[in-house]
Amino acid sequence: MKLPFCKFALAASLLVATSLANATITVFNAFLDQNEGIPTGSPATGSAVVTWDSIGHTMRVQVTFAGLLGTTTASHIHAPTPAPFTGTAGVATTTPTFAGFPLGVTSGTYDNTLAMLQASSYNPAFVTANGGTPATAEAALFSAMAAGESYLNIHTSLFTGGEIRGFLIAAVPEPETYAMMLAGLGLLGFVARRRKQIAG
C-alpha cells in the first residue's frame, strides 16, 4: 500500500527538480557613482538591484541614491554599450523615465517591477532596433545585461546626460533557488529510505 505513495512522491520530486532547473531568476547589482562616461565630479552615490525573472517575464528595479547636486529628472537602463563595463548607449527601458521614479529630489528610493513582454517597458527606439517586438527587445536587453553592456543611471537638472550611473553586474544565484533544490533532494532521499524500509 505504501509503495504507490513512494512512487508518487518520487515523481513529484522529479517534477519539482525539473521546474527548478527551468526557472531562472538572475540578480544584477550596480554601484552608482559620478563615472557617467565622462566623470561628472558629483559626490552622489547610489545602488541598484535588478531582479530578472525569465519565467514570469518581469524585471524588478530597486534603486537607492543620495547626495545629488541637481534634482532628479529621469532614470532608466541604457544598453548595449560597445564593450563590457565601458562606454555609453541609448536608453533601453521606459522613456522618459521609469514609471513612478521620484523626480525633483536629491535623494530617494525606488522599487518597481516592469512587465518585460509589454511595449510600455521599453524605449520604442530600442524595440525597433532589436527585432520590433517586446519579446525580441526582452532577449536583447537581458543579453546586454548578462554581457556587462548595460548601466542604470540617474539624470538631474544639473547633469541632463546623467549625474551618476553604474554598470549592472550579475550576482550569484539567489539562496532561495538553492534552498528549493536542497528540499527536493531531501525528499528524494526520504523516498529512497522509505523504499528500502518497505523492501526490507
Q: Domain locations in the chain?
A: 25-174
Phi then psi for residue 10, to 5 deg, are -65, -45
pLDDT confidence tier of residue 157, bands split at 50, 70 and 90: very high
Cis peptide before 173 (omega within 30 of 0): no
Average pLDDT over residues 142-148: 97
The domain defined by 25-174 folds into Immunoglobulin-like (2.60.40)
pTM summary value: 0.76
Pairing of strands 45-53, 58-66: antiparallel
Contact status, residue 143 vs residue 131, Cβ threshold 8 Å: no
Q: Is the model's pLDDT at 12 over the cut of 90?
A: no
Q: Is the model's pLDDT at 57 over the cut of 90?
A: yes
Q: Is the model's pLDDT at 10 over the cut of 50?
A: no
